[in-house]
Amino acid sequence: MITINEHYAKLQASYLFSDIAKRVDGFQTNNPDKTIIKLGIGDVTKPLPQACIKAFHLAIDEMADEGHFRGYGPEQGYDFLREAIATNDFQARGADISADEIFVSDGAKCDTGNIQELFSRDTIVAIPDPVYPVYLDTNVMAGRTGTFESGRYQGVVYLDSVKENNFVPSLPMEKVELIYLCFPNNPTGSTISKSELKNWVDYARENKALILFDSAYESFIQDESLPKSIYEIDGARDVAVEFRSFSKNAGFTGTRCAYTVIPRTCRAYNSSGESEYLHRLWNRRHCTKFNGVSYPVQRAAQAVYSPEGRAQVKDLVDYYMRNAALIRSEMGGLGYDCVGGDNSPYIWINGQSDSWEFFDLLLDKAGVVCTPGAGFGKCGEGYIRLSAFNSFENVRLALQRIKEVLNR
Ligand code: PLP
């Protein structure tokens, strides 16, 4: 008899985006003439930078030519991309990361979801609330949690990210072993300072814990004093893995390219307390289960680091950040407390009411779609997330409509 992994039964059906879609469909059916403006999702709307497109085309032409055709590439990624990443994203900021510590992949979603395979089932996991759901659900699937009760999985140490701590979780009172952090944060848009991040690195070093640092939104950081990488913090190399993505900076959400950094000095421990290098374990996993990102996609990603690519990526980021600034100032002007939007594409708004009620109000009266904060965790109740990923014209129109509704 084939039996299933019963931990899957503990998973809460992800009603969030299907509920949103149902309500949006219902609204559209009842209001066929009304245009809906979607500021809910975290998907980019602008096309790939021209530098990437050019590199993509050239690489495809190479694949059409017998002399240049390439088959399977290195599982970890081509050296040209790994070198460009190490030099530009890390060494240029004083972070000691080398090309052979970079693992190129087809998404930070897969990497943040898969990494937990390296750790034992009884690992004590600390996860922020509210949170990007992948961290939580993949640990549920792996059997690292108990059942879901009163809005939370038993056995998980939740790191509340709330107004009182500026949406940066405090160190846990209990001992934890695997810590997920994401800055700039999805969904709250909050950022972490170097000194706050140093506290986490020190905690991990003192407790032989590991930090999984998701930096998928680093390109939106405008404040130069904020860390873009955890490796800007002394000692992080031994206790942190970092995830990055080309999805949000260069619009690769549909093209798929990302990477994970595992420094050669980063360790975890076996049951006898002896240390093991995670680089070796992840390399083994990656080579067994993954066959590399396609050559043209890696060439397109490399072009992000060319002078033209950099300028075009900056234009994209600036475009979305102009939207973010407008959302934040208009919602703030209406008297709502807002977080994010200054160093991130998300604005976390205290709606001063039930998340779903506020969602319905914006949809029914303004034809604007947001994401109810409660969908990201217990601490998200009362909040909504607005995303800056849309055209400036749509964002401006959405805010005009919201103002008309909320000013009444
Ligand atoms: N990490 C965070 C925090 C995200 O919000 C997202 C996507 O929304 C991802 C990772 C996924 O990135 P990718 O497109 O590289 O899979």
pLDDT of residue 41: 84
In whole angstroms, what is the distance from residue 339 CA to residue 332 CA?
Answer: 10
Between the alpha carbon of residue 293 and those of residues 76, 117, 126, 226, 340, the distances in Å are 9, 21, 31, 31, 32
The overall pTM is greater than 0.85:
yes
Pairing of strands 383-387, 371-372: antiparallel
User: 19 C-alpha vs ligand 1 centroid, how far in Å?
Assistant: 21
DSSP string covering 210-264: EEEEE-TTGGG---TTS-SSGGGSTTGGGTEEEEEESTTTS-TTTT--EEEE--T
- 268 Cβ below 6 A of ligand 1: no
Residue type, 286: H
| Euclidean distance between CA atoms 97 and 115, whole angstroms | 19
Task: Provide the 10 A C-beta neighbour count for residue 148.
Answer: 13
Residue 15 is predicted with a pLDDT of: 65
For 124, left (φ over 0), alpha (ψ -120 to 50), or beta?
beta
* Residue 132 CB less than 6 A away from ligand 1: yes
The strands making up 210-214's β-sheet, listed across from edge to edge, are 102-105, 258-261, 240-245, 210-214, 178-182, 125-129, 157-160
Please indicate whether residue 214, judged by its CB atom, sits closer than 6 Å to ligand 1. yes
Q: Both tokens of residue 309?
A: 């690519």
pLDDT on residue 285: 97
**What atom of ligand 1 comes closest to residue 247's alpha carbon?**
14
Residue 17 confidence (pLDDT) = 81
**Contact call for residues 187 and 380 (beta carbons, < 8 A):** yes
Atom 12 (ligand 1) nearest CA: 108
Cis peptide before 128 (omega within 30 of 0): no
Q: Which token pair is 347? A: 């604005």
- The pair phi, psi for residue 74, each rounded to 5°, is -65, 135
**17's tokens:** 């985006």
Question: Which of 109, 186, 212 for a ligand 1 pocket mutation test, highest count of atoms within 8 Å of Cβ?
Answer: 109
Q: What is the pLDDT along the chain (408 residues), one digit of tens a residue?
A: 999 999 999 998 766 888 899 999 999 999 999 999 999 988 999 999 999 999 999 999 999 999 999 999 999 999 999 999 999 999 999 999 999 999 999 999 999 999 999 999 999 999 999 999 999 999 999 999 999 999 899 999 999 999 999 999 999 999 999 999 999 999 999 999 999 999 999 999 999 999 999 999 999 999 999 999 999 999 999 999 999 999 999 999 999 999 999 999 999 999 999 999 999 999 999 999 999 999 999 999 999 999 999 999 999 999 999 999 999 999 999 999 999 999 999 999 999 999 999 999 999 999 999 999 999 999 999 999 999 999 999 999 999 999 999 886
- Would you say 352 and 382 are in contact if contact means Cβ atoms under 8 Å apart? yes
What residue's CA is closest to ligand 1, atom 11?
109
Whether the CB of 113 sits within 6 Å of ligand 1: no
CA dihedral sign, ordered 246, 249, 253, 255: negative
Q: Is 42 in the pocket of ligand 1 (CB under 6 A)?
A: yes
The pLDDT value recorded for residue 407 is 81
Distance of CA 214 from the midpoint of ligand 1 (Å): 8
Of all protein residues, whose CA lies closest to atom 6 belonging to ligand 1?
A: 109
How far apart are alpha carbons 303 and 50 in whole angstroms?
A: 9
Q: CA dihedral in degrees (50, 51, 55, 61; nearest 10)?
A: 40
Residue 394's pLDDT is what?
97
Are residues 392 and 46 in contact, defined by beta-carbon separation less than 8 angstroms?
A: no
